[in-house]
Structure 1
Amino acid sequence: MQETVAEAIKDTSPFFTNDTIVFGILMVSLGLIFYTSSKKKGFWKVFYSVVPALFMAYLIPALFTTFGIIAPEWNSVSDTGVVTEGGSSLYYIASRYLLPAALVLMTLSIDLRAVFNLGPKALIMFLTGTVGIIIGGPIAILLIGYFSPETLATPELPAAVAGEFNDVWRGLSTLSGSWIGGGANQTAMLEVYHYNQKIYGGMVFVDIVIANIWMAIILIGIGKSAKIDKWLGADTSAIEALKEKVSNYALEKERNPSLTDLMILAAIAFGTVGFAHFGAGYMSGFFTEFINGLEPGLTRNLFTFLGSSFFWMISITTIIGILLSYTKLRTYEGAGASKFGSVFIYILVASIGMKMDLMLIFDNLGLIAIGAVWMVIHAGLLILVAKLIKAPYFFLAVGSQANVGGAASAPIVASAFHPSLATVGVLLAVFGYAIGTIGAVACTFLMQLAAAG
């Protein structure tokens, strides 16, 4: 007897599906993490000397998702066989509302001249990460194809999901777009190489698993950054000078915030969010019309990122934050601007963590292996160049995340070193959007050759 669609789809509903309850669980988790990490002696002191609190803010929600307590999305099957798709809105809210609010609050006291005084190593490490992605894809295809040719074989699909463009290298092209630029570049590669969208979910899955595992490794490394910098022989004086300058300014202006201070901070943060969304709507709409007017092909897709409202939202927020840093509003750092920004960042980290089901790693081991080798090459090249030019771990971590994670996670990693450094992550991530598609096209060309070979 043939299976019905409802019978073929599993019920994947988590224990809690109400976002209000899920948000409460995430906030209690963050509260416990900060409470235990504040302990100055005993087990927790030793534990957090090895595992950063930021990593735990990512891992605990991932464990909740893995054990089915919460979930980013799910299928619900009723007794009558009706299938309903569900999902959490927490990541969307955190990335579209709390992230820009955090960025403007963390940028209020930034010294842009001091950021540029960090030198060219930040850009070098970012571009190194880009090159690592471009060459990593074809090398991964060659290695995994040698040991597991079936992984690269064009799948024979049922008629329901069949398509003309099922080649694995076409699907991997979307990963290169995501890992150099971001979501807009990923969509552009999907359009350029016409990968079968009915099986596109498998590539999204590899993207989520590998990118999140790599981010977790980077967060763990932050706790060991001093030892890593010593091994790299890195000069961190410019970074430390910037951190000290911002910290001293905050201490100089520090005060017990009044209700007026808190309301002004809220106005700055969410007024910027509102204006950024307003501006992003107009800018993305204008450029979408412009892009649609171009001839179909590579030229059109090179500019796809300009039609992304997320790109414009982050860009407008960063510009506003930098402009406000030249006004008297920068004194609100003394009222705790960057601390409130950090609260929003931790909520974003927790919402990213809940997108990761650790058991999914075993669902498609061949593609996961390609992604893992790809990321190892990216990381290896970054480590090699960092050692050669004696770049601090900060530049390695942020340069990598500006590629792989984009504007959503690069500021998270940067601010984990110090809130004043969040802008560095944003600026590099925005640059990644600009070069993401052309870099991904180069990577895909090499992957096509590797797959043919």
Structure 2
Amino acid sequence: MIEDGFTYVALLVMIGSAIVYTEKKSRHKLFTYLPSIVILYFVVMLFSTFEVWHKSESVTLTYTFLKSYLLPAMIFLMLLSADMREIFKLGNKMLFTFFLASVSIAIGFIGTFALFHTYFEPDAWKAFAALSGSWMGGTGNMVAIQGALDLPDSAMGYTLLIDSIDYAIWVMILLALVPFAKTFNLWSKADTSVIDEVGEKLAHNNAHKKPVTFFALFILLSSALFVSVGAQIGASFLPTTSFLTATTWVVIIATLSGILFAITPLAKLSGGSEMANMMLYLIVALIASRANFSELTEAPLYIIAGFVIIVIHGSIMILFAKLFKLDLFSLGVASLANIGGVASAPILASAYSKALIPIGVLMAMMGYIIGTFGGLMVGKILKIIAG
């Protein structure tokens, strides 16, 4: 049994690297529908269930310290690639479709929780708020909200469970609908000429990517750590409530910092996304290390609730497609840019055309920007419903 904090972290990093290595080398289809970060969570959770490490003082201090300071650093680096100037190039109709997806997902969460909340534990609204952050942004947003709302690590198992099972089926459905795009577009009377034009322009603009350098990595790391410390200090001077805690302020400050610096020369340095992903994997592993499979007693109900959210979201999207003449590509990519993030939106975009991949990437980047704020807003409403 591990009781030393450094050994504990070293094992978590080794587990994460082994999963990433397996994904890279095997290229198994499993990773298309079940992201490696979700597999990481449940593998580490399995280790925790068998008590491979003990919650000693050293392990607990290491966990608390790393999670507290890595979270704002990860949020900052994640948002550096979300340049609002590039996002606006998507055009009004695609931006409208993206926000329609976000709002319909929020409505899905609020409606579903209103129906099912009496069947869940009193604090279940926090788990759904964290999931809403993921489904309007990405796993990074989910982790940010988990920290902001002080959601117990054990409850994150439900969030990841819905995020993996329900999401995987939704991806398969959207990919299966690709051959019916022309039929759908005729029904909705959509015009796709603008999408093709924007896709080609973005592909041309993103054709040349700078290589990752030692200099860039060092500058990005120092900037992220500086923002992390600054967010902690800044949050200590801001007023708090039962909902808007000091940790929530840390998340908000780091998010706003990332959005602001995304339009500066710092964002042009390559390596920020890779570093953010490494931090995200470690944070998820840390969270999973405090969870246990025996605690997932309400898993089926959570999974059913997840499907109800998707049904509400999909129904609203189809209704508005008819009203505003939206095409299936925009609807599908906007939906996955929210629910799946940067890992899956480009995959669906490429199923339509390779030239449209940048649209999927940019939409997913926009999800990173609004995911945390959107999830916190949904969480506030869910808290009111929970009473």
TM-score clears 0.5: yes
Corresponding residue for residue 379 of structure 1: 310
Shift of 1:119: 1.2
Q: Work out the CA distance in 1 between the residues paired with 2:343 and 2:281.
A: 10
CA contact (8 A) 1:318 1:423 kept: no
Q: Does the C-alpha gap of structure 1 residues 89 and 387 become closer, same or farther in structure 2, counting only changes over 3 Å?
A: farther
1:32 lines up with 2:18 in the alignment:
yes
Shift of 1:20: 1.7
Identical columns (%): 18
Shift of 1:175: 2.0
Shift of 1:133: 3.1
Q: Work out the CA distance in 2 between the residues paired with 1:91 and 1:383.
A: 39
Shift of 1:23: 1.3
Q: Secondary structure at the match of 1:123?
A: helix
Per-residue CA deviations over 1:202-225 (Å, capped at 9, x if unaligned) read x96984342231123256469758
Q: Secondary structure at the match of 1:68?
A: coil
Shift of 1:376: 3.5
CA contact (8 A) 1:97 1:273 kept: yes
Q: Does the C-alpha gap of structure 1 residues 426 and 353 become closer, same or farther in structure 2, counting only changes over 3 Å?
A: farther
Which of 233, 239, 243 is the aligned partner of 1:305? 243
Corresponding residue for residue 65 of structure 1: 48
Corresponding residue for residue 208 of structure 1: 156
Kindly provide the amino acid, as one letter, of the partner of residue 234 in structure 2.
G
Kindly provide the amino acid, as one letter, of the partner of residue 178 in structure 2.
K
Kindly provide the amino acid, as one letter, of the partner of residue 112 in structure 1.
M
CA contact (8 A) 1:136 1:377 kept: yes
Kindly provide the amino acid, as one letter, of the partner of residue 374 in structure 1.
A
Shift of 1:176: 2.5
Matches within 5 A, 1:87-102: 88=60, 92-102=64-74
Q: Work out the CA distance in 2 between the residues paired with 1:90 and 1:208.
A: 20
Shift of 1:61: 0.9
Q: Does the C-alpha gap of structure 1 residues 328 and 424 become closer, same or farther in structure 2, counting only changes over 3 Å?
A: same
CA contact (8 A) 1:104 1:317 kept: yes
| Structure 2 residues not aligned, in runs of 5+ | 131-144, 186-191, 322-327, 347-360
Corresponding residue for residue 157 of structure 1: none
Kindly provide the amino acid, as one letter, of the partner of residue 222 in structure 2.
A
Q: Does the C-alpha gap of structure 1 residues 222 and 140 become closer, same or farther in structure 2, counting only changes over 3 Å?
A: closer
Structure number with larger C-alpha Rg: 1
Q: Secondary structure at the match of 2:213?
A: coil
Which of 233, 242, 258 is the aligned partner of 1:278? 233
Q: Secondary structure at the match of 2:277?
A: helix
Corresponding residue for residue 329 of structure 1: 266
Q: Does the C-alpha gap of structure 1 residues 432 and 247 become closer, same or farther in structure 2, counting only changes over 3 Å?
A: farther
| Structure 1 residues not aligned, in runs of 5+ | 1-14, 77-84, 145-167, 188-202, 292-303, 401-412, 446-453
Which of 77, 98, 106 is the aligned partner of 1:130? 106
CA contact (8 A) 1:30 1:57 kept: yes
Q: Does the C-alpha gap of structure 1 residues 26 and 245 become closer, same or farther in structure 2, counting only changes over 3 Å?
A: farther
Kindly provide the amino acid, as one letter, of the partner of residue 263 in structure 2.
Y
Per-residue CA deviations over 1:340-360 (Å, capped at 9, x if unaligned) read 122112222322333442232
1:115 lines up with 2:87 in the alignment:
yes
Q: Does the C-alpha gap of structure 1 residues 322 and 244 become closer, same or farther in structure 2, counting only changes over 3 Å?
A: farther
Q: Work out the CA distance in 2 between the residues paired with 1:281 and 1:64.
A: 36
Shift of 1:320: 1.8
Greater RCO, CA 8 A, separation 6+: 2
Q: Secondary structure at the match of 2:243?
A: helix
Shift of 1:265: 1.8
Q: Does the C-alpha gap of structure 1 residues 25 and 376 become closer, same or farther in structure 2, counting only changes over 3 Å?
A: same
Aligned residues: 336
Corresponding residue for residue 416 of structure 1: 343
Q: Does the C-alpha gap of structure 1 residues 352 and 382 become closer, same or farther in structure 2, counting only changes over 3 Å?
A: farther
Shift of 1:332: 0.9
1:428 lines up with 2:376 in the alignment:
no
CA contact (8 A) 2:5 2:58 kept: no
Kindly provide the amino acid, as one letter, of the partner of residue 432 in structure 1.
G
CA RMSD of aligned residues (A): 4.1
Corresponding residue for residue 194 of structure 1: none
CA contact (8 A) 1:54 1:416 kept: no
Shift of 1:414: 2.8
CA contact (8 A) 1:52 1:223 kept: no
Matches within 5 A, 1:4-403: 15-39=1-25, 45-49=28-32, 51-70=34-53, 88=60, 92-116=64-88, 117=90, 118-140=94-116, 171-172=121-122, 174-180=123-129, 182=145, 207-217=155-165, 220=168, 224=172, 227=175, 230=178, 233=181, 245=202, 249=206, 252=208, 254-255=210-211, 257-258=213-214, 260-283=215-238, 287-288=239-240, 304-306=242-244, 308-333=245-270, 336-362=271-297, 370-388=301-319, 389=321, 390=328, 392=331, 395-396=334-335, 399=338
Corresponding residue for residue 444 of structure 1: 386
> Which one is further off, 431-440 or 417-426?
417-426
CA contact (8 A) 2:82 2:368 kept: no
CA contact (8 A) 1:106 1:341 kept: yes
Shift of 1:31: 1.7
Kindly provide the amino acid, as one letter, of the partner of residue 282 in structure 2.
I
Return the structure number with greater helix share: 2
Q: Secondary structure at the match of 2:237?
A: helix
Q: Does the C-alpha gap of structure 1 residues 141 and 275 become closer, same or farther in structure 2, counting only changes over 3 Å?
A: closer
Q: Work out the CA distance in 2 between the residues paired with 1:239 and 1:112.
A: 21
Q: Work out the CA distance in 1 between the residues paired with 2:81 and 2:196.
A: 15
Q: Work out the CA distance in 2 between the residues paired with 1:318 and 1:371.
A: 29
Q: Work out the CA distance in 1 between the residues paired with 2:338 and 2:371.
A: 7
CA contact (8 A) 1:134 1:439 kept: yes
Q: Secondary structure at the match of 1:282?
A: coil
Shift of 1:270: 0.8
Shift of 1:319: 2.0
Q: Work out the CA distance in 2 between the residues paired with 1:310 and 1:352.
A: 16
CA contact (8 A) 2:73 2:225 kept: yes
